[in-house]
Amino acid sequence: MRVGFIQFSPLFGEKKKNFKKVMNLVEDLNADLIVLPELFNTGYLFLNKQELVELAESPGKGETHDFILQLCNKKNCGIIYGFAEKCGDNFYNSVIFMAPEGIIGHYRKTHLFFEEWFFFTPGDLPYNIFEYKGVKIGMLICFDYIYPEAMRTLALKGAQIVTLSANLVLQFCPDAMVTRSIENRIFTILADRTGIEERGGKMLKFIGKSQIVGPDGEILVRVGEKECGIVVDINPELALDKRVTPHNDIFAQRRPELYFH
């Protein structure tokens, strides 16, 4: 399976310009699955709720949905993308899994970071698995990575690949995702943004370092801070083997009756 990510610096509130950036970065890629960053279409640094009201979209409708669906059909691939979701009176930091035939997956960020608490509602959707081209895929968003329970839940449900759409400002995540891959024996795809966002006297610098890691912890690719689109070949079947030695199957030998719950 050919999987990849897009890393770029979105312009706040400039959806059409961000679509064009993604289109240019995807143009030469040949992939089965492409992962985009968190809030790829709007940028991250909201200053007030009204900005969120104006930029958020409902799943299955709106210009972002239309753009991604068109791109999926043009490239004949699945795309996972982050966006600000409006649902009734609530707003969620969400990802959608889009295929050429339409939406096949949806997740809302469970663990909000920093000032996201001022704008978004914590996610209320379960950690579900979505099958695409015979491969089981789970989705997380940014700060979810710091809670190992989230990825372990997806792995126990059968995920072979877990994607993390992110806007990282802390340095921990790329290395932590190597650990998440090892302890669950799965592939992980981190799609981060890059660049600096400065608005209203606030400034955030995003680290980039998007990467793809194998079930044994091998970093198959890790980039720096540049804007880029990267694809690698993986064998998802490797994530079905939970043995680290001939005598140690890390899932079969779990002791949940002893763990805190």
Cα(54)–Cα(40) distance, integer angstroms: 16
Give residue-wise pLDDT tens across range 88-143.
999 999 999 999 999 999 999 999 999 999 999 999 999 999 999 999 999 999 99
Decide if 33 contacts 1 (C-beta within 8 A). yes
Give residue-wise pLDDT tens across range 12-62.
999 999 999 999 999 999 999 999 999 999 999 999 999 999 999 999 999
Cα(16)–Cα(39) distance, integer angstroms: 14
Q: Among this protein's residues, is 115 annotated catalytic?
A: no
Give residue-wise pLDDT tens across range 198-252.
999 999 999 999 999 999 999 999 999 999 999 999 999 999 999 999 999 999 9
Q: Among this protein's residues, is 72 annotated catalytic?
A: no
N-term to C-term CA, the chain: 36
Longest dimension (CA), the chain: 57
* Full-model pTM: 0.98
Instruction: State the catalytic residue, choosing from 15, 21, 136, 142.
Output: 142
Q: Which two tokens stand for residue 258?
A: 């002893």
Instruction: State the catalytic residue, choosing from 15, 86, 109, 209.
Output: 109
Mapped to the 3 state alphabet, what secondary structure does 94-125 carry? EEEEEECCEEEEEEECCCCCHHHHHCCCCCCC
Domains and CATH numbers, the chain: 2-258 (3.60.110.10)
Q: How much is the pLDDT for 73?
A: 98
Q: How confident is the model at residue 153 (pLDDT cuts 50, 70, 90)?
A: very high
Instruction: State the catalytic residue, choosing from 15, 21, 38, 116.
Output: 38
**Measured on CA atoms in the order 142, 145, 150, 155, is the torsion positive or negative?**
positive
Q: Among this protein's residues, is 86 annotated catalytic?
A: no
Q: How much is the pLDDT for 189?
A: 99
